[in-house]
């Protein structure tokens, strides 16, 4: 099962490698990983997605919690949450395809943020599924380059992950 | 405020932590620190002959005293040599602070002479690590290092120190923090009373209970309350390899060690129990045998300070996260206040059954009449000569299991062995640490001719400091445990488990300035032991030749349950 684990941790060198090490040591793959400082510069928020059953995730979260730099963590997939990923995508835009790509971008509520005579650079935000669907719709033949940030997420409602 | 260099601050921080002794080996990157050490006399530095031995010595010191062990090594090979010892301490949750030198900050990452990424190498085998980036950080970093190493589930902490951070030319104000507070680290201070109450209720209604206590009881100073609990309830107690001494080994309620080479009765009791009270133990694979076949009828209470240990291998029905001492104390007082007691008749029937198991096997082994000595006899002679009152360190292999089975430890912190990592070469250096902690105590290192050669250079350290350790070399001229597995699982093909050019250990010991005694016949064993322990100020190396064909029994049958055991070469359950 896909999980989104969100971690609040000390913004210190070495902290990230400890988190990643716990996964690689056990042979678990991290699908996506995004990390940046929070409004409090001494803290970083790290969001990662991985796959695992309840037992594996329980073990990994217990061990993540043991890391000295980890302040708090939450498995967002345990409750209602919002997840977003940002994608920048270069798409071939020539001839008849040019208008079709523009229409598709509009349908997906993306933005064209850079244009040349043959290429559109599209910015698109949403769930990972939506980003996949966009790339699928445009088709491999048209897609020149894809950059994705990885999932960021936050709980719905009043619940906050803070110290 | 007083101004000190980084090197001086490190030494002062050790003093302020109350550290009396450190183990180490100098080298380029730590010369400033060694110079600062030279100019004071509060912290004694012990010079070993190899950095691995420094870590094991600090480890042995810690296990015997409960205080953190401290190690100082240089960068590169000095640091990497310490890795095995750090991993050993990590696996057994031993509090340790390792100071490792590093090349100067602006050279890091450039393949400088004796550079290695020690923080990176150690990441999976330390509780935490620090890297000094400016000398001003040293006092707080050291305070945190000791705090982290010694609290919660203890473990080794590495402090990596680039040489420029210790320069005598840079002096900064020094003040050692009195307290440390970390928002991201707060070990559990108390077990949940509701959970403890639940556990007590389970104990009071148990009919076939057993207490399964591990190294956590020793590390958490819980032996006193563990004993009270067992006595109050009349429950049988088994200890893990790491837990030996947590409950008095000669007490009638003690079943011996459990697990792969545990006693028949301990393993039978576990398998047949309806309640397991696991305290400071982690259901290691060497204990449980196949986890899915583990004790099918038992309710499991699991007390541990580390939440990650609970329900890791075996699901706990009543998990209690907390310091074992406090939890046990609370259990004892709840039971004392309660009018209820477990069903005495049911317990009596349970004890009758246990008695039967005890009588059936009871660690029996065959003695060779007139033939070679058995290794078990050596441990029994050691027990007799020391009246059960020695600190016993051990290496890894058959001799370790025989020592665990046959030496009855009545007190905690007397049995010192590498249980988790299983590090050959641990015995002698850890004995060094123990002897420094207790200069007047009897310290015996039970080892084998394979293990002892993995750190034999420490005989030199023992000479330098006049350590009267007694080395009990159970010499079967083979890597006994490897050979046993080869006998049992590889058709007796002894691939590389035979050592055919052993040194003359007696002369080797003598050349290091010690006393060597060779024993070949059982008739000479007791007298030789007496003689060795009568030489109170000398290290004695006892080279004792034993039957190479002996196996350790009982032995779990792989992938079976707790009760599936070989009881001898020909008999199984």
Q: What is the pLDDT of residues B356-412, one digit of tens each?
A: 999 998 899 999 888 899 999 999 999 999 999 999 999 999 999 999 999 999 999
pLDDT confidence band for B1 (50 / 70 / 90): confident
Give the nearest chain B residue to A9 (CA atoms). B184
Its ipTM equals 0.90
Any idea what DSSP says for residue B396? S
Q: What is the pLDDT of residue A117?
A: 95
Paired tokens of A144: 């020149």
B181 to chain A, any CB pair closer than 8 A? The answer is: no
* Range B247-253 contact pairs with CB under 8 angstroms and sequence separation of 24 or more: B247/B211, B247/B213, B247/B217, B247/B223, B248/B409, B248/B410, B248/B411, B249/B388, B249/B407, B249/B408, B249/B409, B249/B410, B250/B388, B250/B408, B250/B410, B251/B227, B251/B410
What per-residue confidence (pLDDT) applies to B387?
Answer: 96
With beta carbons under 8 A apart, name residues in chain A contacting B183.
71, 163
Helix (H), strand (E), coil (C) string for B76-94: CHHHHHCHHHHHHHHHCCC
Per-residue pLDDT at B543: 98
The Cα–Cα gap between B484 and B252 comes to: 31
Q: Is the pLDDT confidence value at B86 over 90?
A: yes
Q: What's the confidence (pLDDT) of residue B79?
A: 98
pLDDT, averaged across chain B: 96
pLDDT of residue B340: 94
Does residue B51 carry a catalytic annotation?
A: yes
CA-based torsion, B490, B482, B213, B355: positive or negative: positive
Can you tell me the distance from the alpha carbon of B305 to that of B23, in angstroms, rounded to the nearest whole number? Answer: 29
- The reply to whether residue B184 touches residue A70, judged by beta carbons under 8 angstroms, is yes
Instruction: Quote the CA–CA distance of A127 and B429 in Å, as a whole number.
Output: 57
Nearest to A68 among B128, B307, B308 (CB): B128
Active site residue B130: no
The Cα B307–Cα B186 span in angstroms is 12
Instruction: Kindly name the residue from B42, B113, B292, B523 that is annotated as catalytic.
Output: B113
pLDDT exceeds 90 at position B500? no
Q: Around B273, how many Cα atoms within 13 Å sit in the side-chain half-sphere?
A: 30
- Altogether, the residues listed in chain A come to a count of 163
Between CA B482 and CA B485 the distance in angstroms is 5
Distance, CA of B129 to CA of B159 (rounded, Å): 6
3 state SS for B453-494: HHCHHHHHHHHHHCCCCEEEEEECCECHHHHHHHHHHCCCCC
- The answer to whether B185 contacts A68, with C-beta atoms less than 8 Å apart, is yes
**pLDDT tens digits for B251-298?**
999 999 999 999 999 999 999 999 999 999 999 999 999 999 999 999
Is B552:B482 a contact under the CB 8 Å cutoff? no
- Whole-number Å distance between alpha carbons of B365 and B376: 8
Say what percent of chain B tops pLDDT 90. 97
What is the DSSP pairing of strand B415-416 with strand B443-448?
Answer: unpaired
CB contact under 8 A, A62 and B307: yes
pLDDT at B11 exceeding the cut of 90: yes
What integer pLDDT is reported at residue A67 of this predicted model? 95
B554 cis-preceded (ω within 30 degrees of 0): yes
> What average pLDDT score do residues B334-348 get?
96
In b/e form, how buried is each residue of B83-110, taking b as 16+ CB within 10 angstroms? bbbbbbbbbbbbbbbbbbbbbbeeebee
pLDDT band at B499 (very low <50, low <70, confident <90, very high): confident
Please, which residues 67-126 of chain A have a Cβ atom closer than 8 Å to chain B? 68-71
Per-residue pLDDT band for B462 (boundaries 50, 70, 90) equals: very high
Nearest to A10 among B124, B129, B184 (CB): B184
Report yes or no: B131 at the A interface, CB cutoff 8 Å: yes
pLDDT of residue B377: 97
pLDDT above 90: residue B120? yes
State whether A65 and B185 contact (CB < 8 Å).
no
Tokens of B540: 């004695």
* Partners of residue A70 in chain B, C-beta under 8 Å: 184
Q: Which pLDDT band holds residue A163 (cuts at 50, 70, 90)?
A: confident
Are the Cβ atoms of A66 and B306 closer than 8 angstroms?
A: yes
Region B79-97 average pLDDT: 98
Instruction: Quote the CA–CA distance of B391 and B389 in Å, as a whole number.
Output: 7
The arithmetic mean of pLDDT across residues B231-241, rounded, is 97
pLDDT value at position B542? 98
Active-site hit among B8, B9, B23, B51: B51
- The DSSP element (H or E) to which B511 belongs, if any, is helix B505-511
Q: Which residues in chain A have their CB less than 8 angstroms from residue B129's CB?
A: 14
Residue from B67, B43, B413 nearest B223 by CA: B413
Q: Which of B239, B234, B217, B216 is nearest to B226 (CA)?
A: B217
Which of B481, B529, B542, B555 is labelled catalytic?
Answer: B481
B307 touches chain A (CB under 8 A): yes
Q: How many CB pairs under 8 A join A and B?
A: 34
Question: Cβ neighbours of residue A119 under 8 Å, at least 6 residues apart?
Answer: A90, A91, A92, A93, A144
How far, in Å, are A149, A161, B79, B248 from residue A36 at the CA level?
12, 15, 33, 54
DSSP label of A142:
T
Contact of A25 with chain B, judged by CB distance below 8 Å, is answered with yes
| B133, two tokens | 């980036």
């Amino acid at each position: 099962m896909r999980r989104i684990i969100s971690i609040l941790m000390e913004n210190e060198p070495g902290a990230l490698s400890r988190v990643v090490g716990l996964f690689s040591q056990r042979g678990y793959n991290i699908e996506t990983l995004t990390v940046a400082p929070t409004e409090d510069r001494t803290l970083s928020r790290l969001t990662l997605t991985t796959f695992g059953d309840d037992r594996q995730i329980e073990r990994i979260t217990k061990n993540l919690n043991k890391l000295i730099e980890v302040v708090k963590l939450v498995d967002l997939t345990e409750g209602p949450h919002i997840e977003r990923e940002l994608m920048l995508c270069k798409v071939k835009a020539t001839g008849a395809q040019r208008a079709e790509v523009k229409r598709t971008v509009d349908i997906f509520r993306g933005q064209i943020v850079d244009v040349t005579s043959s290429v559109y650079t599209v910015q698109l935000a949403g769930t990972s599924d939506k980003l996949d669907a966009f790339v699928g719709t445009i088709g491999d033949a048209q897609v020149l380059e894809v950059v994705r940030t990885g999932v960021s997420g936050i709980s719905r409602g009043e619940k906050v992950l803070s110290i | 405020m007083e101004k000190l260099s980084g090197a001086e601050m490190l030494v002062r921080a050790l003093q302020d932590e109350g550290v009396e002794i450190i183990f180490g080996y100098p080298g380029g990157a730590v010369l400033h620190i060694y110079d600062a050490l030279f100019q004071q006399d509060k912290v004694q530095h012990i010079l070993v002959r190899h950095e691995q031995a420094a870590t094991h010595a600090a480890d042995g010191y810690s296990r015997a005293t409960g205080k953190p062990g401290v190690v100082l090594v240089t960068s590169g090979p000095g640091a990497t040599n310490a890795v095995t010892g750090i991993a050993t301490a990590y696996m057994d949750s031993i509090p340790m602070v390792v100071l490792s030198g590093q090349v100067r900050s602006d050279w890091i990452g450039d393949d400088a002479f004796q550079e290695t990424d020690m923080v990176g190498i150690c990441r999976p085998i330390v509780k935490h690590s620090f890297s000094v980036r400016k000398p001003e950080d040293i006092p707080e970093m050291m305070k945190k290092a000791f705090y982290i190493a010694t609290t919660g589930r203890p473990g080794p902490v590495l402090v990596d120190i680039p040489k420029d951070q210790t320069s005598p030319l840079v002096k900064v104000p020094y003040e050692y923090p009195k307290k440390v507070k970390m928002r991201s680290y707060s070990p559990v201070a108390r077990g949940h009373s509701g959970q403890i109450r639940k556990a007590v209720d389970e104990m009071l209604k148990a009919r076939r209970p057993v207490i399964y206590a591990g190294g956590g009881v020793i590390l958490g100073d819980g032996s006193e309350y563990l004993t009270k609990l067992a006595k109050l309830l009349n429950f049988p107690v088994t200890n893990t390899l790491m837990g030996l001494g947590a409950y008095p080994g000669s007490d009638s309620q003690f079943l011996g060690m459990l697990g792969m080479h545990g006693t028949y009765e301990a393993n039978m009791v576990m398998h047949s129990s309806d309640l397991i009270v696991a305290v400071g133990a982690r259901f290691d694979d060497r204990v449980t045998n196949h986890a899915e076949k583990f004790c099918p009828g038992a309710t499991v209470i699991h007390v541990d300070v580390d939440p990650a240990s609970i329900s890791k291998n075996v699901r706990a029905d009543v998990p209690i996260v907390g310091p074992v001492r406090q939890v046990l104390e609370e259990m004892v007082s709840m039971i004392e206040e309660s009018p209820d007691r477990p069903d005495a008749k049911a317990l009596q029937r349970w004890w009758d059954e246990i008695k039967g198991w005890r009588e059936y096997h009871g660690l029996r082994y065959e003695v060779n009449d007139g033939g070679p000595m058995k290794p078990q006899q050596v441990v029994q002679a050691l027990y007799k000569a020391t009246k059960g009152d020695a600190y016993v360190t051990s290496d890894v292999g058959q001799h370790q299991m025989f020592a665990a089975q046959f030496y009855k430890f009545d007190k905690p912190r007397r049995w010192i062995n590498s249980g988790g990592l299983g590090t050959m070469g641990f015995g002698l250096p850890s004995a060094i640490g123990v002897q420094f902690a207790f200069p007047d105590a009897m310290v015996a290192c039970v080892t084998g001719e394979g293990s002892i050669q993995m750190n034999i250079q420490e005989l030199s350290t023992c000479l330098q400091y006049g350590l009267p350790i007694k080395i009990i070399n159970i010499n079967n001229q083979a890597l006994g445990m490897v050979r046993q597995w080869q006998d049992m699982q590889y058709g007796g093909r002894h691939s590389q488990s035979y050592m055919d050019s052993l040194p003359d250990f007696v002369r080797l010991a003598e050349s290091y300035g010690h006393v060597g005694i060779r024993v070949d016949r059982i008739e000479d064993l007791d007298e030789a032991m007496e003689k060795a322990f009568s030489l109170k100020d000398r290290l004695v190396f006892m080279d004792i030749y034993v039957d190479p064909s002996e196996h350790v029994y009982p032995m779990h049958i792989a992938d079976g349950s707790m009760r599936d055991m070989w009881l001898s070469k020909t008999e199984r359950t």
